[in-house]
Amino acid sequence: MDKLVIAGQEFESRLFIGTGKYASNAIMAQSIEASGTQMVTVALRRVDIDNPNDNLLAAIDRKKYLLLPNTSGARDAAEAVRLARLARAATGIAWVKLEVTPDPYYLLPDGEETLKATAELVKEGFIVLPYINADPILAKKLQDIGTATVMPLAAPIGSNKGIKTRDAIEIIIEQATVPVVVDAGLGAPSHAAEAMEMGADAVLVNTAIAAAADPIAMASAFKLAVAAGRLAYQSGLAAQSHRASASSPLTGFLRSE
Window of 41-49, 160-168, 220-228, 246-254 that interacts with other proteins by CB under 8 A: 41-49
Phi, psi for 23 (deg, rounded to 5)? -65, -25
Active site residue 3: no
**Is 204 a binder of other proteins (CB under 8 A)?**
yes
**Is 49 a binder of other proteins (CB under 8 A)?**
yes
Rounded CA-CA distance 131/153 in Å is 7
**Structural Rg of the chain based on CA atoms:** 20
CB of 60 to other proteins, least distance (A): 9
**Is 44 a binder of other proteins (CB under 8 A)?**
yes
Considering only 45, 63, 243, 255, the residue that binds other proteins (CB under 8 A) is: 45
Return the residues of window 146-175 that contact other proteins according to CB under 8 A.
157-158
Rounded CA-CA distance 96/207 in Å is 20
Which helix H or strand E contains 95, and what residues bound it? strand 95-98
Return the residues of window 218-257 that contact other proteins according to CB under 8 A.
none
Q: Is 238 left (phi over 0), alpha (psi -120 to 50) or beta?
A: beta
Whose Cβ is closer to other proteins: residue 55's or residue 177's? 55
Give me the catalytic one of 3, 21, 97, 164.
97
**Is 19 a binder of other proteins (CB under 8 A)?**
yes
Give SS3 for 200: coil
Which helix H or strand E contains 30, and what residues bound it? helix 25-35
Rounded CA-CA distance 32/233 in Å is 25
- Residue 68 makes CB contacts below 8 A (sequence gap 6+) with 16, 39, 40, 41, 42, 93, 95, 96, 97, 129
Whose Cβ is closer to other proteins: residue 28's or residue 169's? 28
**Is 129 a binder of other proteins (CB under 8 A)?**
no
**Is 207 a binder of other proteins (CB under 8 A)?**
yes
Number of residues in contact with other proteins, rule: CB under 8 A? 36
Residues in contact with other proteins by the rule CB under 8 A: 18-22, 28, 41-47, 49, 52-58, 67, 69-70, 72, 85-87, 89-90, 157-158, 184, 204, 206-207
